Structures are given as structure tokens and as C-alpha cells.
A and B are shown apart, each in its own frame.
Chain A
């Protein structure tokens, strides 16, 4: 089912949570709402679910206005960050709950419920836990049960609020892949909220980057990463170095390096360079920035160097371990920085 969000606004007192948002979600797609905490992504998700009402605007489900439809009639499955499993029920009862509480006319028979629950539990690979209570499960298992519970009522839309936010990195990575596979099997329109850019880029078909109640960019993971529309998107999707500069004749100058800029002459500009897109060299070239290595830190497969540069804060450079060893870089050594890629945005 497709969802259209039409000029939605929401305030909490003086705080503007959502500011005139416009978003179309295609049928069967897996969409990520990405942004820092407080950017309004969860509020948007809850408005789609019907747990909050917007101050203004409309929500269309499959082209029909659903703004005033009650949550109970929207047929959404919602997965909460902290699982929200019913503690006094077994795993089986939790998943069966949504079916058991249906009115008699639409309620499936007991054998049908049993079959369906076991089918869902094997889908989330936890059939063997049916008789346990939520308190006896690990975080990752609980979240998978929560997902099974949400899917039991055959929702038209699946909404996930930071589903992996409370899990450790390793489990999170596993569940990410698993969610992607599940979505490829079921093709149910899904929206999930996250503040983890890696998660959004890895799992989603499309990513919506939000900040301060507004949408900064909508696009496929490649689009938002390779062609960030705003400095915010660039900064949010990974580490970044900033250089402040002024524009002369269409070029922003940082030390001896020059970057093509669209800003007008003598406007202030900010040059963004990602740490892994900087080459180090011992030879001065005409387009390089001079600096001194002040720190080096080993991060598993990569090495992060901090380079002190005049007129800038510390610049971070990321090298693979082999490159670092080949180069034989030392702390205290003067180097030249050669950005391979850079983006220039007018300074705010």
C-alpha cells in the first residue's frame, strides 16, 4: 500500500517537531527515516501509525484520506524500540494476541491461530522459544518476537521505531541483514526510523534524511551519500573535515589548494572533505595543504591520523593499515594533504 504525506505539521508547545513535510512512500518499498535525535522522525512515524495526530496536513493511504482514521482501523504493524512485549504472556500468546482479540466474526479458529503463530515464529527463526516469557529472551530475540507479533495481524504497512536501537553492534548488524531479507520475501510497505546512517544506507531502498522537523534530502542510499544536497546531509552521513575559506573567482582556497565553488566572489564558504578521501604526501605540490601529524590511532583495519593545519581545526585523515605502514608515517612529521574529493557549500 502506498502512503502519501501531505503538508504535515506538528508542534509540541513552542517546539516545531514537523514543519510542512511532503513525502510519498511507494507500495512495497523499505524506507528509512534518518536523522539526529529530536529531528522529528519518530513523530512522523507515529503520525503515520495514528498514535499522534498532526496539527495540519493529510495522510493518504492508497490514495484515500486516512488522517482521521483511528489507529485501530489503519491496519499498521508497529515495532517499538523497547519491544513492548506483553510481559505476562508467553511468546506464543504474544504473537497470537492480535488474532485472539479480533471480534468473533473475523477471528480465525484455534487451530488456524496455532498454525499461523508457528509459521511466524519459524519465519523469525524462534519457533523453539514459543513457551518462554519475554523476560527470558535476549534483546535481539525479543525484537524478533515483537516483529512477529506485528506481522501476525497481516498489516498493510509495517512501521519500525529504531528497531535495533537498544541492541549491541553485532546483533544489530545481523538483524539488519535479516530484516532486509524478510522484506524481500514479504514486500510489505515498511518505514523504519534510525539515527544510524550505516543502518539506513545498508537496509533501505530509499533514505529520507531529516533535520529539525524538515526533510533535507530524499534519495537512494547512493544518491544521498554521493550527492548530498546540503551540508547537513554531508556531515550526517559519515565523518567529515571542515575548512573555512573565502571564494575568489569561483574558487574556494584553502592554503594552496583550490576547490571549484558556486558561491559569489569573496563570499565565505565551507569546504567539506571526508577523512578517507585525503592523500598524504611528503612532497609539496601546488594544490596541497601543509600540516603536521599530531596523533595516530589504530582502528582495526584503518588508521586515523590527526593533522594540525594552520587556519583550521585538526584535520582527520583515514588510511588503510597497509598504506599507513608503506608510507611509514610518524607523529610530528610535516606532511602535505591532497584532498581527492571535496564539496564546497556557502557558509551559513
Chain B
């Protein structure tokens, strides 16, 4: 059934289906027949869609009045009211003040959450020292072995490379002054004080920090963390503390390994410059003092602690969905490295003031 138009004096009668086909068929005729003030009787319409409403709207625009349109189609026509905007106005573009406010809010909430994390952590650490036996050493050892022993090959490789590159690059110009012997001093000091702790920390941030974030993040997404809580466990004490302690303990050990291997690389290069092994190693050990060595180790312990804390924090604060795990892993690595730079700077200032 299609649409039908019956033209009478000052009235137009519409019947049938006002769909795209029906409306198009009678549109031209209706347009020419319509006069201002004429009445369109639409009571015979038994279907009307957007095309039909457009026809009726066109007739109204030309001065006609529509009567008797079935109620359920009237709503469609009412939407075509020129006084009523068809599109929802898009929200006002953000001004710089709003942007600043959003940024401020984000920073504040981040700050409060991090502070809360540190607070809970400190309280729990204090509890460990007062009431013993609460900490899960078994978990800690598992973490220590995967974060420490398993990381040794890559750390050894990079440390060796550091030792070789550093000594070779400095040996070539220093040789012109006949000072290649001092390469041992240079490499020894910079490895022990700065490079070994920092390099180990960066590798650990990429390896272990990211792994913690992914591990805890997956647990969070799968509601395993909630399951732990309903079984009466504190996820902080059960998951976070063992990881923090394990990494804080393993970091100095890895750093010592990195130092030894780096120095070995240096000795190898020096040997190729005809400096005997015993001489270069003796120079290096003579120049590195007690404070250099333990300063570096203390620093690496702090680095390890922060890397684990950031990894766990990011993991526990993972949102919903698998994509969120990837996001928190990335954020864990990035914030760990930023943290390393800041903390290392603070250590430099501190050591300078202390005269170490």
C-alpha cells in the first residue's frame, strides 16, 4: 500500500503509508496544491517515518495545519520544530583555567594516593618489627630468586659492556698523555659510585618493576586480590611487603656483581693497552674508598625499594580490563626511571654536603 493524496477545497487528505517511496510520490502534487491556512487531514495515515514527517513539515512551512495525525507519529513531527535545536550543543571547549584545574586535581589525587600507600607501608613495616612471624618469607624468597638470580645474566652482560666501553673510550685520548694507567681510577670510581647502582636499577625497573605491576595488575583485574581479602588476608602484607624487602635486599648484591664484572671488563681492555692485570685492579681498588663502596650500595638499596614500591603501587591501582594491565606496566617503568633520576640527584647533593 502506498500513499494517496486527495485534494479538496482548502483541505488535503493524506492516506496510506508515508514512507520514503510514498511521500516522494505525492510530494510535488501536495506542494502545488497546498495554500496558506489549508487543513491537512492526516487521520488516514497508517504509517509515517522520517520521510513522511519531512513532507508534513514542508506543508506546515507553507502555511498548512496538520490534523488528525496518529499520536505515535506526532512525536516524530514534533521533533521537527524549528524552534527546537536538533543537535545537542557540544560542551564548551576547555579553557586553560579548566585544564589547569584538571591537572591540579590529578596531581592532588595522585599525591594523596601515594601518601596513603607510603603511610600503610610504614605502618606495616613497623608492625613487622614489633610482631614477628607475620611476613611471608617463602614468597619473598621466590621473588628474590626471580628478580635476582634470574636477572644476573643480563646484568652481567650490560656491566661487562659498560666496563669495556668506558675504559676503551677514555683510554684512547688519555694514552696521548701517557696517562692510560689512570683509566682504572676513572672507571673504578664511576662504576662503584654511580654507574653500577644506576644501571642495575634501570634494568631492574624494566624487568622486575614491570613484572610486579603486571602480576599484581592481572590479579587485580581477575579479582584475585578481592578473593584474598575475602579469605581474610591483607594483600599489602601478603603481596607487597615480601616483594619490597626481597628487591631491597637483592639490589645491593646485584650491584656488587655488576661492579666486579664491569671492573673485569675494564681490566681486559687495559691488558690490551699493555697494562698488567694486577696493576689496573690494584689502582682501581686503591682509589675506591669505603664510603664510595657503601654509599653506592646504600643508594642501590634505596633504588630497589622504590622500584618495587612503584611496581606494586601501579599494579594494585590497575583499573578494569586487560588493557589497564599494559597501561600500569608502562607507567611503572616510566615513573621508576623518573624516580631514579630524582633520587640519584638527591643522593649526589647529600654526598656532596657530607663530603663523601
Question: Could you tell me which A residues sit within 8 Å of B by CB distance?
Answer: 49, 51, 71-73, 76-78, 80, 82, 84-87, 97-98, 101-102, 104, 149-150, 153, 244, 310-311
CA distance A72 to B71 in the complex (A): 58
A–B complex contacts, Cβ < 8 Å, 9 sampled: A51-B226, A71-B229, A78-B230, A80-B223, A84-B222, A84-B223, A84-B227, A149-B231, A153-B231
Task: Point out the residues of chain B lying under 8 angstroms from A101, CB to CB.
Answer: 231-233, 238
- Does chain A have a CB within 8 A of B224? yes
Write the nearest CB–CB distance from B315 to chain A, whole angstroms: 15
Known contacts A84-B222, A310-B46; 16 additional CB pairs below 8 A are A49-B230, A72-B229, A72-B233, A76-B230, A78-B227, A80-B226, A84-B223, A84-B226, A85-B224, A87-B224, A101-B231, A102-B232, A150-B230, A244-B71, A311-B70, A311-B72
CA distance A104 to B134 in the complex (A): 10
- Does chain A have a CB within 8 A of B234? yes
Task: Point out the residues of chain A lying under 8 angstroms from B70, CB to CB.
Answer: 311
Instruction: Using known A-B contacts A244-B72, A310-B46, A311-B70, determine if residue A153 contacts B224 with beta carbons closer than 8 Å.
Output: no
CA distance A84 to B229 in the complex (A): 12
Kindly count the residue-residue contacts between A and B in the assembled complex, taking CB atoms under 8 Å apart: 51
B134 nearest in chain A by CB position: A103
Task: Point out the residues of chain A lying under 8 angstroms from B46, CB to CB.
Answer: 310
CA distance A73 to B224 in the complex (A): 18
Task: Point out the residues of chain B lying under 8 angstroms from A87, CB to CB.
Answer: 222, 224
Write the nearest CB–CB distance from B290 to chain A, whole angstroms: 43
Instruction: Using known A-B contacts A244-B72, A310-B46, A311-B70, determine if residue A78 contacts B226 with beta carbons closer than 8 Å.
Output: yes
CA distance A85 to B46 in the complex (A): 58
CA distance A153 to B222 in the complex (A): 21
A46 nearest in chain B by CB position: B226
Write the nearest CB–CB distance from B28 to chain A, whole angstroms: 29
Task: Point out the residues of chain B lying under 8 angstroms from A98, CB to CB.
Answer: 231-232
C-beta contact mask, B35-71 vs A, less than 8 Å → 1, else 0?
0000000000010000000000000000000000011
CA distance A189 to B227 in the complex (A): 19
> Which 6 residue pairs spanning A and B have beta carbons closest together?
A84-B223, A78-B230, A98-B231, A84-B227, A80-B223, A72-B232
Contact check, B224 vs A86: say whether CB atoms are below 8 A apart.
Answer: yes
Write the nearest CB–CB distance from B152 to chain A, whole angstroms: 23
Contact check, A77 vs B222: say whether CB atoms are below 8 A apart.
Answer: no
Contact check, B226 vs A97: say whether CB atoms are below 8 A apart.
Answer: no
Task: Point out the residues of chain B lying under 8 angstroms from A149, CB to CB.
Answer: 227, 231
Task: Point out the residues of chain B lying under 8 angstroms from A78, CB to CB.
Answer: 226-227, 230
Contact check, A72 vs B227: say whether CB atoms are below 8 A apart.
Answer: no
CA distance A34 to B206 in the complex (A): 46
CA distance A76 to B70 in the complex (A): 57
Instruction: Using known A-B contacts A244-B72, A311-B70, determine if residue A97 contacts B223 with beta carbons closer than 8 Å.
Output: no
Residue from A85, A86, A244 having most chain B Cβ neighbours under 10 A: A86
Contact check, A51 vs B224: say whether CB atoms are below 8 A apart.
Answer: no
A70 nearest in chain B by CB position: B229
Task: Point out the residues of chain B lying under 8 angstroms from A97, CB to CB.
Answer: 231
Task: Point out the residues of chain A lying under 8 angstroms from B224, CB to CB.
Answer: 84-87
Contact check, A51 vs B229: say whether CB atoms are below 8 A apart.
Answer: yes
Instruction: Using known A-B contacts A310-B46, A311-B70, determine if residue A153 contacts B226 with beta carbons closer than 8 Å.
Output: no
CA distance A153 to B230 in the complex (A): 10
Write the nearest CB–CB distance from B130 to chain A, whole angstroms: 15
CA distance A71 to B229 in the complex (A): 7
C-beta contact mask, B208-229 vs A, less than 8 Å → 1, else 0?
0000000000000011101101
Write the nearest CB–CB distance from A253 to chain B, whole angstroms: 14
Task: Point out the residues of chain A lying under 8 angstroms from B227, CB to CB.
Answer: 78, 80, 84-86, 149
Task: Point out the residues of chain A lying under 8 angstroms from B238, CB to CB.
Answer: 101
B225 nearest in chain A by CB position: A84
A150 nearest in chain B by CB position: B230
Residue from B227, B229, B233, B234 having most chain A Cβ neighbours under 10 A: B227
Contact check, B222 vs A82: say whether CB atoms are below 8 A apart.
Answer: yes
Residue of B71, B133, B223, B232 near A82 (CB, 8 A) is B223
Write the nearest CB–CB distance from B134 to chain A, whole angstroms: 9
B224 nearest in chain A by CB position: A84
C-beta contact mask, B66-89 vs A, less than 8 Å → 1, else 0?
000011100000000000000000
CA distance A244 to B70 in the complex (A): 12
B218 nearest in chain A by CB position: A87
Task: Point out the residues of chain B lying under 8 angstroms from A71, CB to CB.
Answer: 229-230
Task: Point out the residues of chain B lying under 8 angstroms from A104, CB to CB.
Answer: 133
Write the nearest CB–CB distance from B291 to chain A, whole angstroms: 43
CA distance A304 to B234 in the complex (A): 54
Write the nearest CB–CB distance from B317 to chain A, whole angstroms: 16
Write the nearest CB–CB distance from B77 to chain A, whole angstroms: 17
Residue of A72, A84, A85, A244 near B234 (CB, 8 A) is A72
CA distance A51 to B72 in the complex (A): 47
CA distance A77 to B231 in the complex (A): 7
Task: Point out the residues of chain A lying under 8 angstroms from B231, CB to CB.
Answer: 97-98, 101, 149, 153
A101 nearest in chain B by CB position: B233
CA distance A149 to B71 in the complex (A): 58
CA distance A72 to B227 in the complex (A): 11
Write the nearest CB–CB distance from A9 to chain B, whole angstroms: 22
Residue from A72, A77, A244 having most chain B Cβ neighbours under 10 A: A72
Write the nearest CB–CB distance from A181 to chain B, whole angstroms: 24
Write the nearest CB–CB distance from A267 to chain B, whole angstroms: 14
Write the nearest CB–CB distance from B229 to chain A, whole angstroms: 5
A75 nearest in chain B by CB position: B232
Write the nearest CB–CB distance from B244 to chain A, whole angstroms: 19
CA distance A153 to B233 in the complex (A): 12
Task: Point out the residues of chain A lying under 8 angstroms from B233, CB to CB.
Answer: 72, 101
CA distance A102 to B226 in the complex (A): 17
CA distance A78 to B224 in the complex (A): 11
Task: Point out the residues of chain B lying under 8 angstroms from A51, CB to CB.
Answer: 226, 229-230
The A-contacting residues of B in range 120-137, CB under 8 angstroms, are: 133
Task: Point out the residues of chain A lying under 8 angstroms from B222, CB to CB.
Answer: 82, 84, 87
Residue from B72, B133, B231 having most chain A Cβ neighbours under 10 A: B231
